[in-house]
Structure 1
Amino acid sequence: MDAAKPNPAPAPVYAPGAGTPARRLLVPLGTLGAVAAAFAYVGLVDPNHPGHYPVCPLFRLTGVYCPGCGGLRSAHDFITGHFAAAVHSNALAVAGYLLFAAGWVLWAVRSARGLPFKIMLGDRHWWIIGTVVLIFSVVRNLPFGSALAP
């Protein structure tokens, strides 16, 4: 009797070191394309004109600005080159755009070189991020923080 040979394990669909640099850049470039399409849409459809986008439910119900309030206006101003207005609409969102851009460049370079890219945030980092978002949310709703309100 012949013993059946076990089938080898299938190769992973995406491995950091596998393939050519162009193939390794497919996922980062696809992500960039999706983000660019979203920004292009917001750049073309002005959120300052009512009726194009829904109103923040927290703001509608309570009159309180959430951390994301003004984010679409900020994205529109950012993509159209009005950077001061973008910061005024939502400074936290602008910081997010810049962090995304830096992270994406690092991701693309590491992917092209066949190196893995991981964002490892510990509990302390998450607490710091949550605290910054909470402080931003509270301050922008207080009279002295009105410069942070959209």
Structure 2
Amino acid sequence: MDASPTPAAAPPPDPETAAPQRAAAPGPAAPPHPPAAPGPPVFARAPVPASRTRRLATPVGILAAVAGAFAYVGTVDPNESGHYPVCPLLKLTGLLCPGCGGLRSAHAFIHGDLGAAFAANAIATAGYFLFAAVWVLWLVRAWRGRPLRIGLAPAWWWGVGAVLLVFTVVRNLPFGSALAP
């Protein structure tokens, strides 16, 4: 017995996708019609809003990680040698990078000595306050169900890079020794 399908068993062609059967007419062929735009998905659902707990999970988790890192730095003094690795740029070239003194700054910041924190690394200390402000904004927006979107133009990023470069150069020059840790 032959297992091939018979013409009667074949499904009929879909009228929307099948090309119409026309008799060959003399003259130029008509351009083909563009395919119809697909309709909405069959199982489309409206997005389900995330619960408040789920929206707050990421900012709270980030705060927990940062608080854990600061707690460690506050407990293990970076002013004592042997606890943290030495900056590779400082070790190889003798030049201070923009992050040099950041751990000492964090240690002083944790202990409430803002003067020592700024003296160790002014940029890092300003970054702690900036992080706190952005985190509070993120938490408030997550609480209200709005996403945090901070769109900075490339000029801002170039500006941040320029500030870090100037800070690095000045702290390595004799007149900028006040910025050195």
Q: Which runs of 5+ in 1 are unaligned?
A: none
Establish whether residue 35 from structure 1 lines up as the match of residue 66 from structure 2. yes
Hey, what does 1:84 align to over in structure 2?
Answer: 115
Establish whether residue 116 from structure 1 lines up as the match of residue 147 from structure 2. yes
Number of aligned residue pairs:
142
Write the mapping of 1:64-83 to structure 2, written as runs, cut at 5 A.
64-83=95-114
Q: Tell me the CA shift for residue 121 of structure 1.
A: 1.3
Percent identity between the aligned chains?
64
**Separation in structure 2 between the aligned mates of residue 26 and residue 135 of structure 1, nearest angstrom:** 38
TM (norm. structure 2) is 0.74
**Separation in structure 2 between the aligned mates of residue 110 and residue 74 of structure 1, nearest angstrom:** 30
Write the mapping of 1:131-142 to structure 2, written as runs, cut at 5 A.
131-142=162-173
CA pair 112-63 structure 1, distance change in 2 beyond 3 A: same
**Separation in structure 1 between the aligned mates of residue 159 and residue 98 of structure 2, nearest angstrom:** 15
Establish whether residue 147 from structure 1 lines up as the match of residue 178 from structure 2. yes
Could you report, residue by residue, the CA deviation over 1:66-85 in whole angstroms, capped at 9, with x for unpaired residues? 00000000000000111100
Larger Rg: 2
Higher relative contact order (CA 8 A, sep 6+): 1
**Separation in structure 2 between the aligned mates of residue 47 and residue 8 of structure 1, nearest angstrom:** 58
TM (norm. structure 1) is 0.88
Q: Which runs of 5+ in 2 are unaligned?
A: 1-10, 12-40
Higher helix share: 1
Runs of 4+ aligned structure 1 residues displaced above 4 Å come to: 6-12
**Separation in structure 1 between the aligned mates of residue 135 and residue 168 of structure 2, nearest angstrom:** 26
